[in-house]
Structure 1
Amino acid sequence: MKTFPKPLTAREERECLERYQEGDQEARATLIERNMRLVAHVAKKYQNTDYDMEDLLSVGTIGLIKAVNTFHTDRGSRLATYAAKCVENEILMLLRANKKYSKEVSLFEPIGVDKDGETVSLVDVIEMENKEALETIILSQDIKELYDAFDHCLRDTEKKVIGMRYGLYGGKEHTQREIADMLGISRSYVSRIEKKSIEKLRMEFEKNNKKSGIIK
């Protein structure tokens, strides 16, 4: 699967949007191409369904194209936030055709209306508190994947060391010396376990992202 280019910066996005609004189709193509990584991130959330990533990416791309075609700069948010909503809605339409996923919940589904009568979704509420809402959503997804890798990639001793070292699952962070004393092993051994465990987690995380085409 191809590797997607990096997203546009806020300035680059604004310039492309302005050019597209003036009829520049090359700018439109750039907006679509440079947001494909976003499509992959959203689609990755549903990669364990009955649909493979190629199908999810294809459907998600339709949502992205719709977003680029209908986005207005006066919305007060980045194109990516609006596009994420369109991409996920398009994928959920596909999944809901399968009754097995009829109750799938989306961050972008309406949860009420604002004072102007406009529908409000959970991600809109998040964005009110954090203008980098999309990045926060993707980071939360990445953290979940790292925890999943922690659970099935590491041995018991490795889990203990990494869990105590970084305060996972709400625990307290400890120094290598403190961990060594608690486990009755040398600090250098703790360091080796930590280094090996982090490499395992990194490889697992990158493997998952390769499957989604997000990184090489």
Structure 2
Amino acid sequence: MKTFLKPLTPEEENRYLQEYKQGSLKAKNILIERNLRLVAHIVKKYQGASEELDDLISIGTIGLIKAVQTFDNARASKLSTYAARCIDNELLMLFRSRKKSNREVSLYDPIGTDKEGNEISLLDVIETEPVDIVKNYALKQDTARLYKLLPQVLTSREQEVLKLRYGLYGEREQTQREIAKRLNISRSYVSRIEKNALLKLRSFFPSS
């Protein structure tokens, strides 16, 4: 991977943001170039994906460019925080377009192994009615871990979407369209939130 330029200091970032607002394309390019390290950092989460690393960086860079173009420091304190979300969203949209079904991607992909070395998926982890307590001890441990992680790892919006999507905490399982109507957002936005939340959780269940 190429060597990236050092990140901007907060003072430099504010100065170039102001210059870009005034129409400076040079300032825009500097903001992009000096944040490419962030793209590479985020792409590392997806290195197990089927896409080539260079392709992932290219897609992530598109997200970075969009972030620079739409960043409003009156609504977000740091460009890097906002850009990280934009980069993630762009990558998630790429993966979603590669799959026929979002639930195939999020629920059935392996996220780790149980104590016997068997692969487990997110569908296994959120299962709430294990048939045999002894046989499914490891699964129950992972389930408890998942519920503990939800408020620690996910935003309140991500928790709400997963709770409704998969019937957690006694909720009725709902479609993305139903959730979108309930939360007054678009179905595609619900899909992005769901995928991003599941990817966050997946990182806490590494393969042995």
The CA distance in 2 between the partners of 1:109 and 1:87, in whole Å, is: 20
RMSD: 3.6
AA partner of residue 44 (structure 1): K
The CA distance in 1 between the partners of 2:38 and 2:52, in whole Å, is: 17
AA partner of residue 71 (structure 1): F
By how many angstroms is 1:45 displaced?
A: 0.5
TM-score (norm 2): 0.51
State the structure with bigger RCO (CA 8 A, min sep 6), 1 or 2: 1
- Equivalent residue for 1:9? 9
The CA distance in 1 between the partners of 2:32 and 2:76, in whole Å, is: 20
For this pair of structures, how many residues does the alignment match? 124
- Equivalent residue for 2:149? none
The CA distance in 2 between the partners of 1:10 and 1:109, in whole Å, is: 29
- Equivalent residue for 1:56? 56
Of structures 1 and 2, the larger Rg is shown by 1
Q: Structure 1: where are the runs of 5+ without partners? A: 122-136, 152-216
The CA distance in 2 between the partners of 1:64 and 1:71, in whole Å, is: 10
Q: Aligned runs of 1:117-128 on 2, under 5 Å?
A: none
SS for the counterpart of 1:45 is helix
By how many angstroms is 1:98 displaced?
A: 2.2
- Equivalent residue for 2:21? 21
SS for the counterpart of 1:75 is coil
- Decide whether aligned partners of structure 1 residues 37 and 101 sit closer, same or farther in structure 2, where only a CA change above 3 A counts: farther
- Decide whether aligned partners of structure 1 residues 93 and 44 sit closer, same or farther in structure 2, where only a CA change above 3 A counts: same
The CA distance in 2 between the partners of 1:13 and 1:72, in whole Å, is: 13
Runs of 4+ in 1 over 6 A off after TM superposition: 105-109
The CA distance in 1 between the partners of 2:41 and 2:60, in whole Å, is: 10
AA partner of residue 21 (structure 2): Q
By how many angstroms is 1:108 displaced?
A: 8.0
- Equivalent residue for 1:89? 89
Indicate if the aligned counterparts of 1:64 and 1:83 stay in contact, CA closer than 8 A: yes
Show CA shifts across 1:104-155 (max 9, x none): 5996894369xxx999x8xxxxxxxxxxxxxxx9xxx8xx9xx99xx8xxxx
The CA distance in 1 between the partners of 2:156 and 2:89, in whole Å, is: 8
Show CA shifts across 1:10-67 (max 9, x none): 1110011011001111110000000000000111100111011100000000000000
The CA distance in 2 between the partners of 1:109 and 1:99, in whole Å, is: 27
The CA distance in 2 between the partners of 1:93 and 1:13, in whole Å, is: 28
- Decide whether aligned partners of structure 1 residues 17 and 25 sit closer, same or farther in structure 2, where only a CA change above 3 A counts: same
Overall identity of the aligned pairs, in %: 49
